[in-house]
A and B are shown apart, each in its own frame.
Chain A
Amino acid sequence: MTGRSWGVFLLRRLAGTAVVVALLSIGVFGLLYLAPGSVQQTLLGTRPATPETIAAIQARYHLNDPLPVQYLSWLGGVLRGDLGTSIRTGMPVADMLGQRLPLTLALTGYGTLLAVLAGIPLGVAGALRRGRAADRLVVTAGVVGLSAPPFAVGLLLLVVFAAGLGWFPVYGVGEGFADQVLHLTLPAVALAVGAVGMLVRFSRAALIRELDQDYVVFARARGLGAPAVLGYALRNSLVPILTAAGLIVTGMLAGTVLVEVTFALPGLGSLLVDSVTFKDVPVVQALALLLTLLIAAVNLLVDVGYSAADPRVRIGGRPS
C-alpha cells in the first residue's frame, strides 16, 4: 500500500464523515420546527411575550429571514462557539454543557475501563474452554448483559448493594477523589454491563476464529507454550474487536442518559432528559450536535484504525 492511496482513503473517509455531519446538523436545526407551536413560542418558553422579548428573539434567530439563511446563521453561531441561551435557566448553553461534561466523562471513562477489564478476559476464557460448561455460562451471561437495560441493572444494584448491603451510597456524587469514585462505582457498573456483553461476544468469536488458523496449529506443533500461542492469537483478534468499538461507544452514550437519570447524577445525559421534557430546544440542539460529532469522530477513528491494521479494507471498502 503506497502513501498516496493511504491519503486518498483518508480524504474519502473524511469527506464522507463531513457529509454525514452536515446532513445531521440540518436535522438538529430542524428540531426547532419540530416542537409543537410556533418557533417564537418555543423560544420564548415561560417568559412574557412583550414586544421587546419577541423582537430580541426574532433578531437573535433571524426568524424573518428565509429558512436557509436562518440555518446558516445558526450554524455560524455554533461554529463560533455560540450555542445560544437556555430557555429553562437563561444561562448560556455552552456554560451549562461545560459544567456537566466532567461527570459524564468520568462516568463513561470508568464504565469503559470496567467493561474492558471484565469483557475481554471473560471472552478469552470462553474461547479457550469452547463448548464446555464454563463457555456456555459465559455466553449466556454475555447475552443477558447485552439485553439488560442500564436503568433496570442500576436499580437492582441499588436494591442489593446500596439499600440491602449498605456497601455503596444510594444517591449523590460525593466529595474528594476516593468518595467520588465510590459514588460513581454502581453507576459505572450499570453502564458497563451492556458493553461487557458485547465485548464477550466479539472477543470470544474473534479469538475462536484465530485459534482455528493454521499458524496456531503450526506454533503448537513447534512446541510453543500455551501463553505464547495465545499471545499471537490475541494480537490478531484485537482487529475485529476494534470494529465493535463503534457499537460500544454508541451504546455507552445512550446508556449514560439512563444511568444518570437512574442515579440522579448531574451529567450531560440527565441534562438531555430535563431539556427534552422542558422543550428547552437550544440545549437539546447543542447536545444533539455534540453527540453527532462524537459518534462521527468515533466511527472515523474506528475506520482508520481498522484500515491501518488490515490493508484489505482500504482496497475493498468495508470489512465484510
Chain B
Amino acid sequence: MTRPSRVVTRPPVSVVTALAILLAVAVAAAFAPWLVPDATGQDLMLGISGPGPGHPLGTDDLGRDVLELLVAGARTAVPGALCVAAGSMLIGNLVGLPAGYLGGWVDALAMRWADLMFSLPALLVAIVVAGVLGGGYGLAIAVLVVLFAPTDTRVVRGAVLEQRHRPYVEAAQLKNLSAWRIMTRHVWPNIAPVALANAFLNFAYALVSLASLSFLGLGVPAGSPDWGRTLSDNRTQLLANPWAVIAPGLAIIATAAALNIVGDWLYERVDRRGRTR
C-alpha cells in the first residue's frame, strides 16, 4: 500500500527534548550496572546529607548516593513497563485483527470483553489484586498487561476496519488466500504503525502505574533502586535532603511526559483520526 508522500517537517522542540530525555533514560537503563556498580551501597556512618563533594545530589538516610540511585532506577523502571507495553500490544493484535477483519460474533465478543475491561481503573485493580495476592512485581506486570490490552484491541480493530474494504484486501480475497494469511501478511503491515504508536502511550501509562505500585509498597521489593520506591522511602526526609525527593519525582514525570509527547507525535503521523484517548 503506498500513500502520498508527506512533506518532511522538522519535529517540534518539545519532541526533540522528549527524545533527548528518552535517550538519557535508555542509556541509564542499559548501562546502569557499569555506570553505577554500587548504587545501593550504604554508608550508614554518613547517613543523610545535602549536596556536597562526592555526592552532587546528597545522600539518603541510609547514606546511599541520590544520583547513583537515580541512574540505577532507570534500569528498574524501563524493563517492567516495556513488558506491559509489548504484552498488551501482542494481545491487542491477536484479538483486534480477527475482531476487525472477521466481524460478526468474534467482533461482538471481543468488544464486550474490551468494554468490560475498559470500565475498570487499571491501577486500582492492580493495587487490589497484586496486594491481596501478595505476588509482587511480576504479578503487577501481568495484571497491567490484561487491563491495558483492551485499548490495544480497540485501536487495532479500528485500524483494521478502515483497511478491510480497501481494494488490496479484496484482491487478496479474490485470490482465495486464507483469512489468516490476509490478516497477518496483508492487513497487519498497514496497521502496525498505529499499534506501535499506541504502545508508546501504553509504555508511559505502565511506567507511571508500576512506579505508583512501588510507591505504595506493592511493587518492587524493599531496597530496590526504583524511582517510586525511593520517593516513598525518602518522603520523611523532605527537610534533611529535599533532593532525595526532587530527583526521583522529576525523573518519573520527565520520562512519562517524554513518552507521551513522542507517542502523540507518532500518532499524529500514522493515524489521521488522532489519538482516541
Check B12 against A258 for contact (C-beta < 8 Å).
Answer: no
Where chain A touches its partner, the secondary structure class is helix
**Is B86 interfacial (CB-CB < 8 Å)?**
no
Known: A155-B235, A163-B239. A254 touches B121 (CB 8 A): yes
Segment from A45-53, A59-67, A141-149 that makes contact with B: A141-149
Which residues of B, 143-165, contact A by the 8 Å Cβ criterion?
none
Check B119 against A143 for contact (C-beta < 8 Å).
Answer: no
Task: Please pick, from B123, B132, B204, the residue contacting A281 in the complex, using a CB distance under 8 A.
Answer: B132
Task: Please pick, from B116, B212, B245, the residue contacting A149 in the complex, using a CB distance under 8 A.
Answer: B212
Check A34 against B132 for contact (C-beta < 8 Å).
Answer: yes
Segment from A98-106, A115-123, A225-233, A269-277 that makes contact with B: A269-277
Chain A 142-164 interface mask (CB, 8 Å, partner B; 1/0): 01101111011101101100111
Check A284 against B208 for contact (C-beta < 8 Å).
Answer: no
CA distance A293 to B181 in the complex (A): 43
CA distance A251 to B14 in the complex (A): 25
**A288 proximity list for chain B (CB < 8 A):** 128
User: Shortest 9 CB-CB distances between A and B: which pairs?
Assistant: A276-B131, A147-B256, A152-B249, A147-B257, A254-B123, A250-B121, A148-B253, A144-B257, A163-B238
Q: Chain B: how many interface residues by the 8 Å CB criterion? A: 45
Q: How far is the CB of B252 from chain A (nearest CB, A)?
A: 5
Check A20 against B253 for contact (C-beta < 8 Å).
Answer: no
Select from chain B the residue with minimum beta-carbon distance to A254. Answer: B123
Q: Chain A: how many interface residues by the 8 Å CB criterion? A: 48
**Is B99 interfacial (CB-CB < 8 Å)?**
no
**Is A279 interfacial (CB-CB < 8 Å)?**
yes
Of A148, A152, A284, the most chain B CB neighbours within 10 A belong to A152
**B264 proximity list for chain A (CB < 8 A):** 143
**Is B246 interfacial (CB-CB < 8 Å)?**
yes
**Is A31 interfacial (CB-CB < 8 Å)?**
yes
CA distance A257 to B239 in the complex (A): 24
Check B127 against A272 for contact (C-beta < 8 Å).
Answer: yes
CA distance A262 to B249 in the complex (A): 12
CA distance A306 to B202 in the complex (A): 27
**Is B218 interfacial (CB-CB < 8 Å)?**
yes
**A257 proximity list for chain B (CB < 8 A):** 123-124, 127, 216
Check B121 against A155 for contact (C-beta < 8 Å).
Answer: no
19 A–B pairs (Cβ distance < 8 Å), ordered by A: A34-B132, A136-B14, A140-B261, A144-B253, A147-B260, A149-B212, A151-B232, A152-B250, A163-B239, A164-B242, A205-B274, A251-B121, A257-B216, A272-B124, A273-B127, A273-B131, A279-B132, A291-B121, A291-B124
Q: How far is the CB of B26 from chain A (nearest CB, A)?
A: 17
**B256 proximity list for chain A (CB < 8 A):** 147-149
Q: How far is the CB of B112 from chain A (nearest CB, A)?
A: 10
Task: Please pick, from A147, A247, A258, A277, the residue contacting B131 in the complex, using a CB distance under 8 A.
Answer: A277
**B134 proximity list for chain A (CB < 8 A):** 35-36, 279
Known: A155-B231, A170-B238, A284-B128. A140 touches B14 (CB 8 A): yes
Select from chain B the residue with minimum beta-carbon distance to A258. Answer: B212
CA distance A272 to B128 in the complex (A): 8
Task: Please pick, from A151, A163, A272, the residue contacting B212 in the complex, using a CB distance under 8 A.
Answer: A151
**Is B63 interfacial (CB-CB < 8 Å)?**
no
**A247 proximity list for chain B (CB < 8 A):** 277
Check A149 against B208 for contact (C-beta < 8 Å).
Answer: yes
**Is B211 interfacial (CB-CB < 8 Å)?**
yes
CA distance A14 to B208 in the complex (A): 34
**Is B217 interfacial (CB-CB < 8 Å)?**
yes
CA distance A146 to B252 in the complex (A): 12
